[in-house]
Structure 1
């Protein structure tokens, strides 16, 4: 009985401090130039565009019109990702006169709204293990 309890406590302890890797693939970049930029958020504060509120950010790579970002050492939890193809490497999502994006962008769960970015809840997903998510860039 003591062995079972000790084993259960050990597994619970390891699960509480487990760290995971998340790979984010953005399909449909305009070309292979520029940088694929990703932000990952652990709550609604700052989502989707404030990098100071993001849990992590990554300046990823682009190959074969697919961007790749890798987030490491993430604890299990609820997250949402925002991403864009920074074609001109100016480190911001370029927008037009009325705020419509000029560069391709996307969110986890392929969340979208007609005239505004999605809410955190719409893009949120559970991270419980090493994972990969695919985002269709718009």
Structure 2
């Protein structure tokens, strides 16, 4: 019986500590309530090149959507978000390479310039955190 109590305490503490490293991404300024929100979390090595290290897709239902990533390891990351208005699973751009669908980045990247790692990067530790991005 004593071993069962100790095992229960250990499992409970592991469950509680696992919940401390969650990242919430609050996407604000959604003006068109249609399509899907694509969230990509990148490291410096793959920043905006190829598949993100963590990703999530959510249906747009409100002007603000929250995406939760569970058990994100500590590190340096950048977030890229876009709204796929026409549900074609592509971040659409015009003939000059300019985005024609709403998008946002973590950090302080200017909307009219190519995103830069140093401006988009944030540090994530072992405590839960919320990052806001706005279209």
Q: Which residue of 1 aligns with 2:3?
A: none
Distance 1:55 1:48 in 2: 11
- C-alpha displacement of 1:114: 3.2
Determine helix, strand or coil for the equivalent of 2:77.
strand
- RMSD of Structure 2 on Structure 1 (CA): 2.1
Q: Does 1:72 align with 2:70?
A: yes
Residue segments in structure 1 that go unaligned for 5+ positions in a row: 1-13
1:96-111 matches, within 5 Å, as 96-111=94-109
Q: Which residue of 2 aligns with 1:6?
A: none
Please give the per-residue CA displacement for 1:75-124, whole angstroms capped at 9, x wherever unaligned.
Answer: 111111001011111111111110111100010114236342x1222111
1:12-51 matches, within 5 Å, as 20-42=21-43, 44-51=44-51
Distance 1:89 1:34 in 2: 6
Q: Greater strand percent: which structure? A: 1
Determine helix, strand or coil for the equivalent of 1:64.
coil
Q: Which residue of 1 aligns with 2:58?
A: 60
Determine helix, strand or coil for the equivalent of 2:99.
coil
Q: Which residue of 1 aligns with 2:6?
A: none
Distance 1:127 1:99 in 2: 31
- TM-score normalised by the chain length of structure 1: 0.75
- TM-score normalised by the chain length of structure 2: 0.76
Q: Which residue of 2 aligns with 1:127?
A: 124
